[in-house]
Amino acid sequence: MAENLLPVIIAARRTAIAVRGGRLSQVGAEHLAGPIVRRCVADAEQATGQRAEVADVILGNCMGPGGNIGRISALAAGLHATVPGMGLDRQCGSGLSAIITAGEAIGAGDHRMRIAGGVESASTAPVRLAEGSPYARAPFAPAGFPDPEMGSAAEALAGKFDISRVAQDDYASRSHRRALIAQQRGIFDDEIVSVEGVLHDDGPRQTTTRLLSRFMPLFAEPDNGTEGTVTAGNSCRICDGAAAVAMISGSSRRDAPGLALRASVTIGCDPALPGIGPVDAVRSILRKADVSMSKIAAVEIVEAFSAQTLAVLRSLDLADDHRVDPRVCADGGALALGHPWGASGAISVVRLFSRLVRQDAPAGTLGLATAAIGGGMGVAAIFEVVR
């Protein structure tokens, strides 16, 4: 694809991330996403110096109210009634997949702007019923296939890759430390839009790093001699939040700096080990983009669990028993900030935008975003700084 036809992100924003039942618990999904959509449009208009013609609003969402969250959020944002919208569910990869979907439409020749991202209001998610009884989630696989809960799947990866409790706690501590430093330095300030006056993430905490060793394993099986290593401390918290980007064709960006979508891959894996999905996705996308990992300047992975994240990073030679590559989640990740499922993949892209575009990385610098997906999938995208 010619460079000027590559889809380019020229604006990227998110809400603060609040724990379920916390400061954003009274805000429905469309009212989390609406201000972000509106701000992305305004940022894009400022960057290009021209009025935006929004072709679509594409938002990922996992457990929300239904009713096409993209369209509802577009209306809540105050966009013209002619602007359509679309909801997308690829579980924890939803936000990133929505951005990829927007980029594919632009790459196919429709150069109008798209707003894409994700939103999750875990606090206001409706209760779902199956055969008259409430259930926590829909199946990720049909009967006869493995369909583990995500925590149990993370514990399985810890066993398969011999990832100790200490290593998991150390990684969680790293995420909190880095997020606290970023928060104190105001690194998140330019990406957060106020919703209900909330401007700071709940998650990063000094106390968490001191208390990690005290958390009890969640999936121990004493009858089978299994002590367990996955705890609430080295797992992400369920949260409320939204994130989105404004994406246009490179031919219409008018020298606005941004992130061009170079390549994307979504791929399936063994549903018994869903957290390992990013490994093949990343390997595939590096081949597709014809770049080596050494050329990637920034990596953002959705940190659902320390065990799951370390299994991926070790498989990609981005971590071992003694170190984690500093390119990975340099300002902390979902273990510290929280995991609003449908939004988290988009939050990763917002983070790349801040790390690379807002912090003046030179043109040509590459960033990678990736996430594991329930049911056994991985999604990855490579972005390139343009100026």
Asked whether the beta carbons of 74 and 84 are under 8 A apart, the reply is yes
How far apart (Å, rounded) are the C-alpha atoms in residues 71 and 56? Answer: 9
Read out DSSP for 71-102? HHHHHHTT--TT--EEEE--GGGHHHHHHHHH
Q: Any idea of the CA torsion for 162, 166, 167, 169, to the nearest 10 degrees?
A: 130
Beta-carbon count within 10 A of 226 CB: 13
For 356, which DSSP code? I
322 assigned to active site = no
Q: Which residue's structure tokens are 């390549």?
A: 263
* Residue of 40, 62, 92, 269 marked active site: 92
How far apart (Å, rounded) are the C-alpha atoms in residues 384 and 365? Answer: 6
How far apart (Å, rounded) are the C-alpha atoms in residues 229 and 227? Answer: 7
Using CB atoms within 10 A of its CB, is residue 169 exposed (0-12), middle (13-18) or buried (19+)? buried
Distance of CA 201 to the CA centre of its chain: 15
How far apart (Å, rounded) are the C-alpha atoms in residues 383 and 364? Answer: 9
Q: Which residue's structure tokens are 């700084």?
A: 385
How far apart (Å, rounded) are the C-alpha atoms in residues 62 and 167? Answer: 30
Q: Which among 202, 195, 188 has a CA at the least distance from the CA of 34?
A: 195
92 assigned to active site = yes
Which are the catalytic amino acids? 92, 339
